Structure 1
Amino acid sequence: MDLNTTIVGIYFLFLIAIGWMFRTFTSTTSDYFRGGGSMLWWMVGATAFMTQFSAWTFTGAAGKAYADGFAVAVIFLANAFGYLMNYLYFAPKFRQLRVVTVIEAIRMRFGKFNEQVFTWSGMPNSVISAGIWLNGLAIIASGIFGFDMTTTIVLTGLVVLVMSVTGGSWAVIASDFMQMVIIMAVTVTCAVVAIVQGGGVGEIINNFPTQEGASFVSGNNLNYLSIFGIWAFFIFFKQFSITNNMLNSYRYLAAKDSKNAKKAALLACILMTMGH
């Protein structure tokens, strides 16, 4: 067994251990789904930040940044803008719903029929999305570490399932916080090394290989700058909608109170701004 396999195995065992350790924290439905509504801002902020990450962030987005420069960062700036709106208005309002699950809030607002429509219509999309994420992870693990794709998908799915079922939201949010610490440490370290080795931010921008008529901001293969501007506008609108709607308000239901929900949103905004 090589070092890479050992590290991944230890990390999987660590996730399972988190679920087992937090099993005693879950005694009611509220504890399981939202941590009893008693989590502090730094935990809620970390999980809000991590919900915007997937394997694509480190593969597709990284590849796009390498090829086209700053353009892809618009997506993450839009995420930061969405969290800023959470901080300014929406996060406290979401916490004040005082429900255990988001679906309860939908029932209160739109009635029982719409509750059932939202519940069942969202399941196929959730299953497909999870499958795409796992497949993306398997492709990367196969290319970098040589892991079998099927084994990676099954094993990763089982580990996440065991952790979340045994520990509930406490385990999920605790693991999100640990992942946030690791990601930010790696991101900041890589950024510092890249800036130093590249001779500074200005040198990196000046030496970026762009085609005629292109720029570091808008990227290559773009005939009209206005297209980039329109795309950026609608990306901001899209990400604002994603981070400020009732279905995605679940992250703030776990906060201890409205003040902690607001601080959590600000933390997610800062982390997203730094991390992009």
Structure 2
Amino acid sequence: MELNTIIVGIYFLFLIAIGWMFRTFTTNTSDYFRGGGSMLWWMVGATAFMTQFSAWTFTGAAGKAYTDGFAVAFLFLANAFGYLMNYVYFAPKFRQLRVVTVIEAIRMRFGNTNEQVFTWTGMPNSVVSAGIWLNGLAIIASSIFGFDMTTTIILTGLVVLAMSVTGGSWAVIASDFMQMVIIIAVTLTCAISAMIYGGGPVNIVDNFPTESFITGGDLNYLSIFTLWAVFIFIKQFSITNNMLNSYRYLAAKDSNNARKAALLACILMTIGPVIWVYAKLVYCRSRYRLSQCLPRRR
């Protein structure tokens, strides 16, 4: 058995163990869905940060960063702006809802009919979204490790299901924190390596393949890019500051911890894009000479 397979297997067992260890933390529905509203800011901030991740972050987004430069980072900077607004106003308000699930808040605000509509209409979208995320993970796992895609989807889904059902929100948030630590460690290492092999940030930017490191190539009108960036910020603001996505702050111990959690997610989402843009160059540098990775501009 290859080392990569062993590592992935150990990680899956670790996730299942997290669910089993935290099973005793769940004694009622409040514990299961929101950790009893007693979690500290660094746990809530970690899960808020990891909510915006999927396999696309390090595949599609990384590839886009390599071909078009810093433009894709605006997606994540828009997330940082959304979390900043959480910190300024929305996070404490969400925590003060004092409900177990966001669906309860919808019932309180809009009535029973709207509660049912939101519940049932959201389920198909959630299933499709989860399927897309699992499929993206299976594609990258198949390409890198040679795993069978169907097996990867089924096994990953079962592991996540087992962890979530046995440990509830405590297990999910604990696993998010561990994933955050791993991602930060790996991407920092890759970014440092990329800057060393690439001759530093200045050299990477000066020798970037396209005409502009910020907007990429094949852009005839800067106004189009500006308009896109503005609407991306509006879109991500609405995603991170609505009642349906307020669940992450319901688990916070109090309003102050909710604000700190939002600030942590904001800081990580601000620093992260810079790290990920440079980290993409490590893979290219490991297979080709630097001159091929960073050809001179046309």
TM-score tier after normalising by the smaller chain length: over 0.9
* Partner AA of 2:117 in structure 1: V
SS at 2:219's partner residue?
coil
Residue 154 of structure 2 corresponds to which residue in structure 1?
154
Following the alignment from structure 1 to structure 2, what is the Cα–Cα distance between the partners of residues 222 and 6? 45
Q: CA deviation at 1:189?
A: 1.3
SS at 2:24's partner residue?
helix
Following the alignment from structure 1 to structure 2, what is the Cα–Cα distance between the partners of residues 113 and 102? 15
Residue 169 of structure 1 corresponds to which residue in structure 2?
169
Counterpart check, 1:105 vs 2:105: yes
Q: CA deviation at 1:200?
A: 1.5
Following the alignment from structure 1 to structure 2, what is the Cα–Cα distance between the partners of residues 192 and 38? 37
Following the alignment from structure 2 to structure 1, what is the Cα–Cα distance between the partners of residues 187 and 3? 22
Following the alignment from structure 1 to structure 2, what is the Cα–Cα distance between the partners of residues 233 and 274? 20
SS at 2:52's partner residue?
coil
Tell me the number of residue pairs that the alignment of Structure 1 and Structure 2 aligns.
273
Q: CA deviation at 1:274?
A: 1.4
Counterpart among 231, 234, 246 of residue 228 in structure 2: 231
TM-score, length-normalised on structure 1? 0.98
Following the alignment from structure 1 to structure 2, what is the Cα–Cα distance between the partners of residues 92 and 201? 38
Q: CA deviation at 1:162?
A: 0.2
Alignment of 1:60-139 (within 5 A): 60-139=60-139
Whether contact under 8 Å (1:188, 1:275) holds in the other structure is: no
Residue 287 of structure 2 corresponds to which residue in structure 1?
none
Following the alignment from structure 1 to structure 2, what is the Cα–Cα distance between the partners of residues 220 and 115? 46
Following the alignment from structure 1 to structure 2, what is the Cα–Cα distance between the partners of residues 164 and 66? 35
Residue 50 of structure 1 corresponds to which residue in structure 2?
50
Q: CA deviation at 1:190?
A: 1.2
Following the alignment from structure 1 to structure 2, what is the Cα–Cα distance between the partners of residues 191 and 29? 42
Counterpart check, 1:216 vs 2:213: yes
Whether contact under 8 Å (1:31, 1:169) holds in the other structure is: yes
Q: CA deviation at 1:161?
A: 0.1
SS at 1:191's partner residue?
helix
Whether contact under 8 Å (1:22, 1:167) holds in the other structure is: yes
Alignment of 1:22-41 (within 5 A): 22-41=22-41
* Partner AA of 1:247 in structure 2: L
* Partner AA of 1:158 in structure 2: L
Residue 249 of structure 1 corresponds to which residue in structure 2?
246
SS at 1:208's partner residue?
coil
SS at 1:199's partner residue?
coil
* Partner AA of 1:151 in structure 2: T
Runs of 4+, deviation exceeding 4 Å? none
Counterpart check, 1:179 vs 2:179: yes
Q: CA deviation at 1:197?
A: 1.7
RMSD, matched Cα: 0.6
Counterpart check, 1:275 vs 2:272: yes
Following the alignment from structure 1 to structure 2, what is the Cα–Cα distance between the partners of residues 17 and 147? 23
* Partner AA of 1:258 in structure 2: S
Q: CA deviation at 1:109?
A: 0.5
Following the alignment from structure 1 to structure 2, what is the Cα–Cα distance between the partners of residues 187 and 216? 20
* Partner AA of 2:227 in structure 1: I
Following the alignment from structure 1 to structure 2, what is the Cα–Cα distance between the partners of residues 113 and 161? 29
Q: CA deviation at 1:273?
A: 1.1
* Partner AA of 1:231 in structure 2: W
Following the alignment from structure 1 to structure 2, what is the Cα–Cα distance between the partners of residues 198 and 135? 33
Following the alignment from structure 1 to structure 2, what is the Cα–Cα distance between the partners of residues 4 and 43? 29
Q: CA deviation at 1:221?
A: 2.0
Residue 188 of structure 2 corresponds to which residue in structure 1?
188
* Partner AA of 1:263 in structure 2: K
* Partner AA of 2:159 in structure 1: V
Following the alignment from structure 1 to structure 2, what is the Cα–Cα distance between the partners of residues 113 and 68? 46
Following the alignment from structure 2 to structure 1, what is the Cα–Cα distance between the partners of residues 57 and 173? 20
Following the alignment from structure 1 to structure 2, what is the Cα–Cα distance between the partners of residues 55 and 2? 22
Counterpart check, 1:10 vs 2:10: yes
Following the alignment from structure 1 to structure 2, what is the Cα–Cα distance between the partners of residues 114 and 55? 33
Specify every segment of 5 or more residues in structure 2 that has no aligned partner in the other structure, as ranges: 274-298
Following the alignment from structure 2 to structure 1, what is the Cα–Cα distance between the partners of residues 72 and 56? 12
List per-residue Cα deviations over 1:132-177 (Å, max 9, x = no partner). Answer: 0000000000010000000000000000000000000000000000
Following the alignment from structure 1 to structure 2, what is the Cα–Cα distance between the partners of residues 187 and 96? 35
Following the alignment from structure 2 to structure 1, what is the Cα–Cα distance between the partners of residues 240 and 187? 23
List per-residue Cα deviations over 1:9-52 (Å, max 9, x = no partner). Answer: 00000000000000000000000000000000000000000000
